[in-house]
């Protein structure tokens, strides 16, 4: 009886030791699995928006990783999001499309992977002590209706201060995508070809353009004909002045000489003003409009007004000197400038009452 009790006690002790060893092995396996899958220090999950989407709509899916502070999480690759349609219980086959693309037909594309900023809702969720959050926004665009499955994605986190890499795997998520058609029986619209213009319309368009061109030409010719029939506008006589023309011209000449334009190097401007003063005097004295007239036109008007040959000759010589400076870029010396001023003064002096007889 005593021997049986001893054997039973030894068996109980052996069983207890075996149970402890088995529990230790299981705990070690679970710890290893937790480190490998991220269920311990690193966790990851996919957050898909709720509701239904239409084919072609962009869908923002959030990939969130909770990891120890200071760890670096690798950015996921778009190739990791392998399309796995799950509709009608046939993985990899889209509804009503088994005869088009086969099991490998894609149902969405990944257009962008960008860091997702922390939202106010995320900031309200307290993280474990010593943990941090890293998230990405994955923009996908479905192009087939049905239940679109976004597969599980594995991310790698590099712990701070060590070379250890901990992987974490998300769970797959599903989004519902509906067709833009009103009903399954509705067929997509046919692709229309290029729009063509019938030949008779082209003919009418050409005729219309020709008629419009003819009307424009007729309007231009009519305006020219009407302009020719207008009576010629008589040249206005020089306005009457209170003081004699030669007195005002002398005063303007003295003001020009006192402006110091020559000393300032404004030779061309000086000769332009000198010629205008002299031509204005000749026009008022001989009763013709000399403003804005060329040198040839001034000489022609002097001939018409039967001015003396001496006045016409001196006017021709004076205007020629001024035109050389104004138009031929001639740079006269101070002696030449003084001679031109003297010619202008002599022409203006012909307007003096005592000098009119001598000029005649």
Query: How does pLDDT run across 249-272, given as a tens digit for each residue?
Result: 899 989 998 988 989 999 999 999
Q: Which residue among 127, 142, 177 closes a domain?
A: 177
Give the end of a domain, one of 177, 208, 236. 177
Task: Identify whether residues 344 and 257 lie together within a single domain.
Answer: yes
CA–CA distance, 96 with 309 (Å, rounded to integer): 111
pLDDT in the model for residue 239 = 56
More confident call, 98 vs 179:
179
Select from 297, 341, 345 the least CA-distant residue to 321: 341
Residues 6+ apart with CB under 8 A from 322: 271, 272, 274, 275, 295, 340
Say yes or no to pLDDT of 10 above 80. Answer: no
> Is 80 exceeded by the pLDDT of residue 341?
yes
- Cα–Cα distance list, 45 to 118, 141, 302 (Å): 15, 20, 104
Report yes or no on 293 lying in a domain.
yes
What is the C-alpha to C-alpha distance for residues 249 and 341, in angstroms, rounded to an integer?
Answer: 13
Strand pairing report for 72-73 and 154-158: antiparallel
Question: Can you tell me the mean pLDDT for 75-104?
Answer: 52
In a domain, 163, yes or no: yes
Q: Which residues pair with 46 in a beta bridge?
A: 63
Range of the domain at 169: 43-177
The 3-state DSSP class for residue 138 equals strand
Identify which has the larger pLDDT, 167 or 90. Answer: 167
Helix (H, G, I), strand (E, B) or coil at 83: coil
Q: What DSSP state is assigned to residue 39?
A: S
Report if pTM > 0.75: no
In this predicted structure, the answer to whether residue 325 has a pLDDT above a threshold of 70 is yes
Q: Which of 171, 165, 169 shows the shortest CA–CA distance to 72?
A: 165
Q: Let me know if residue 213 belongs to a domain.
A: no
Which of 150, 177, 204 delimits the end of a domain? 177
Of 11-25, 134-148, 310-324, where does mean pLDDT reach its minimum? 11-25
Q: What is the pLDDT of residues 266-281, one digit of tens each?
A: 999 999 999 999 999 9
Residues in the chain: 360
CATH of the domain at 141: 2.60.40
Are 263 and 169 members of one domain? no
- Residue 354: inside a domain: yes
Q: State residue 172 phi and psi, 5-degree precision.
A: -70, 145
For residue 188, being part of any structural domain is answered with no
Does 172 lie in the same domain as 53? yes
Residue 155 lies in a domain: yes
The count of structural domains within the chain is 2
Q: What is the pLDDT of residue 78?
A: 79
Q: Are residues 55 and 166 in the same domain?
A: yes
Give the largest Cα separation in the chain, rounded. Answer: 178
pLDDT of 221 strictly over 80: yes
**Predicted pLDDT at 336:** 92
Mean pLDDT estimate for the chain: 77
- Can you say how many angstroms the Cα of residue 43 is from the centroid of all Cα atoms in its chain? 45
């Amino acid at each position: 009886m005593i021997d049986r009790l001893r054997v039973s006690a030894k068996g109980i002790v052996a069983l207890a030791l075996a149970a402890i060893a088995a529990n230790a092995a299981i705990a070690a396996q679970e710890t290893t699995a937790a480190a490998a899958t991220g269920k311990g220090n690193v966790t990851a999950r996919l957050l898909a928006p709720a509701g239904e989407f239409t084919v072609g709509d962009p869908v923002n899916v959030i990939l969130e990783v909770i990891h120890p502070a200071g760890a670096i999480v690798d950015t996921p690759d778009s190739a990791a999001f392998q399309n796995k349609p799950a509709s009608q219980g046939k993985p990899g086959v889209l509804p009503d499309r088994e005869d088009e693309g086969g099991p490998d037909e894609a149902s969405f594309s990944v257009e962008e992977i960008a860091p997702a900023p922390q939202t106010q809702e995320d900031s309200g969720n307290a993280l474990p002590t010593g943990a941090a959050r890293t998230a990405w926004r994955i923009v996908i665009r479905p192009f087939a209706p049905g239940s679109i499955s976004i597969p599980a994605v594995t991310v790698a986190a590099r712990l701070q201060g060590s070379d250890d890499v901990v992987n974490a795997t998300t769970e797959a998520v599903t989004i519902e995508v509906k067709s833009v058609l009103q009903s399954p029986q509705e067929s997509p619209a046919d692709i229309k070809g290029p729009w063509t213009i019938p030949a008779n319309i082209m003919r009418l368009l050409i005729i219309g353009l020709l008629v419009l061109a003819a009307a424009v030409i007729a309007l231009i010719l009519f305006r020219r004909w009407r302009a020719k029939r207008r009576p010629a506008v008589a040249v206005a006589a020089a306005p009457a002045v209170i003081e004699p023309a030669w007195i005002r011209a002398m005063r303007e000449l003295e003001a020009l000489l006192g402006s110091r334009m020559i000393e300032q190097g404004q030779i061309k401007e000086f000769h332009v003003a000198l010629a205008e003063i002299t031509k204005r005097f000749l026009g008022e004295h001989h009763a013709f409009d000399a403003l804005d007239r060329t040198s040839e036109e001034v000489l022609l008007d002097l001939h018409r007004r039967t001015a003396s040959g001496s006045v016409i000759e001196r006017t021709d010589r004076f205007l020629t000197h001024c035109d050389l400076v104004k138009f031929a870029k001639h740079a006269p010396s101070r002696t030449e400038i003084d001679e031109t001023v003297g010619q202008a003064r002599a022409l203006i002096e012909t307007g003096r009452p005592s000098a009119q007889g001598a000029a005649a």
